[in-house]
Amino acid sequence: MRRLVVGLSGGVDSAVAALLLRERGWEVHGLFMSNWEEDDDGYCTAAQDFQDARAVAAELGIALHRVSFAAEYRERVFRHFLTEYRAGRTPNPDVLCNREIKFGVALRYAERLGAEVFATGHYARLIEGAEGIELHKARDASKDQSYFLHAVAPRELARTLMPIGDLEKRSVRERAREAGLPVFDKPDSTGICFVGERPFREFLGRYLEDRPGPIESADGETLGAHRGLSFYTLGQRSGLNIGGRPGRRELPWYVAAKDPRRNALIVVQEQDHPLLLSAALATGPLHWLTRARTGPFPCTVKVRYRQADQPATLEPGTDGTARIVFERPQRAVTPGQYAVVYEHGRCLGGAVIESVAPHGAT
């Protein structure tokens, strides 16, 4: 019997992935990964997640291995996360976690356990195409996770199975319930893995120093003071502590820009103010999951996970970067986040957003 290792997180998705693969005749082993040192403040759920993974493994009759990749996570993911925030950018650590940890050190560990294949409970589909393995969106569009997988190397995807990519979330829970898996109704985890449910700014404050500066309107009026540019993101509405201002409309304020040179936070009142809209963006080196394109081509793009696909034209640069021009201006496009490119449901790759061109710019 061929051996396979599935990343068993203690949630329903990875549990059903293990169930389906066992039904297909694989010798399934589970791997529970600890990627963060447990805190004593009640926000970390790793201990309970491990107990849930143990219960699932016992119900399925499979071996469960436990390993800590906390040191690798600190070095390869969290260090970058803090560096980006200190620079006033907004990173997405889940993309690096997939590339460096789940499909990096964890896959290598699975090989040492004798696995021919690594498997996960991601909502995405891997399809064999003319050029090799292709990453496609999941059937359940509301749960699709291909955005977070765009930076994984094709050679790693080729050694991976994602068996729930063709299922709706409700079907996954029903399969778990029918099989007697104890996590069938466990709520989905939310937020960044190492932050958990704790207040995000409180967490950042443990690692980043305050650097107070002015909060200014687009026309230069000082409206208040900010804690530090690192603690704010474009489009943010809450936490600005700007009260009513004489001569200003009673409307909420939104973060529209950061000026690192003056340590100033620029805010506007209209949700779709021109300063919040971008006509185009420039990326860093683009990670292709297909053959690199050399000329402009139409595509769709996501600039954040929950966003609907946006029609655009991608213009590859000669240095491996790209310029992406949107058909319609996009709101709160954020440097440090990722622009992920699609073509008819297939993920072509993506890159870090380096800069944006404001609406109205040529």
Name the phi and psi angles at 100, rounded to 5: -90, -35
Alpha helices in 165-208 (DSSP H): 169-178, 200-204
Using DSSP's 3-state secondary structure scheme, residue 181 falls into coil
Length of the chain: 362
Q: 137: burial class by Cβ within 10 Å (0-12, 13-18, 19+)?
A: buried
**321: number of CA atoms within 13 Å, CB side?**
10
Structure tokens at 361: 């710019």
Structure tokens at 41: 């403040």
As a whole number of angstroms, the distance between CA 350 and CA 304 comes to: 12
As a whole number of angstroms, the distance between CA 70 and CA 63 comes to: 22
CA 132 to chain centre: 25
Domain covering 209-271 in this structure, CATH number: 2.30.30.280
Per-residue burial over 165-197, b = 16 or more CB atoms within 10 Å of its CB, e = otherwise: bebbbeebbebbeebebbbbebeeeeebbbbbe
Query: What's the Cα-to-Cα distance from 47 to each of 43, 52, 64, rounded to whole Å?
Result: 11, 9, 15
| Domain regions of the chain by residue span | 3-178, 209-271, 277-358
Query: What's the Cα-to-Cα distance from 101 to each of 1, 73, 93, 163, 194, rounded to whole Å?
Result: 27, 7, 11, 20, 14
Q: What's the pLDDT at 249?
A: 79
Taken in order 88, 93, 99, 105, the sign of the CA dihedral is positive
Q: What is the DSSP string of 144-170?
A: --HHHHTTS-HHHHTTEE-TTTTS-HH
Using DSSP's 3-state secondary structure scheme, residue 3 falls into strand
Letter for the amino acid at 148? Answer: F
Domain covering 277-358 in this structure, CATH number: 2.40.30.10
Structure tokens at 333: 């496009």
Structure tokens at 15: 């549990």
Q: What's the pLDDT at 122?
A: 97
- List per-residue pLDDT tens for the chain, 362 residues long: 799 999 999 999 999 999 999 999 999 999 999 988 765 555 667 888 999 999 999 999 999 999 999 999 999 999 999 999 999 999 999 999 999 999 999 999 999 999 999 999 999 999 999 889 999 999 999 999 999 999 999 999 999 999 999 999 999 999 999 999 999 999 987 666 666 666 788 889 989 999 999 999 999 999 999 999 999 999 999 889 887 777 677 888 999 999 999 999 999 998 899 999 999 999 999 999 999 999 999 999 999 998 999 999 999 999 999 999 999 999 999 999 999 999 999 999 999 999 999 886 54
As a whole number of angstroms, the distance between CA 107 and CA 4 comes to: 11
Ranges of beta strands (E only) in 75-151 are: 117-119, 124-129, 132-137
As a whole number of angstroms, the distance between CA 307 and CA 301 comes to: 9
Q: What is the CA radius of gyration of the chain?
A: 22
**215: number of CA atoms within 13 Å, CB side?**
20
Q: What's the pLDDT at 341?
A: 98
Asked if residue 310 lies in contact with residue 303, where contact means CB atoms within 8 angstroms, the answer is yes
Question: What's the CATH superfamily of 3-178?
Answer: HUPs (3.40.50.620)
Q: What is the DSSP string of 260-328?
A: TTTTEEEEESSTT-GGGEEEEEEESS-EESSSPP-S-EEEEEESSTTSPPEEEEEEE-TTS-EEEEEEE
Residues whose CB is less than 8 angstroms from the CB of residue 225 and which lie 6 or more positions away in sequence, other chains included: 212, 213, 214, 215
* 3-178 and 277-358, same CATH topology: no
The residues that are catalytic are 97, 193
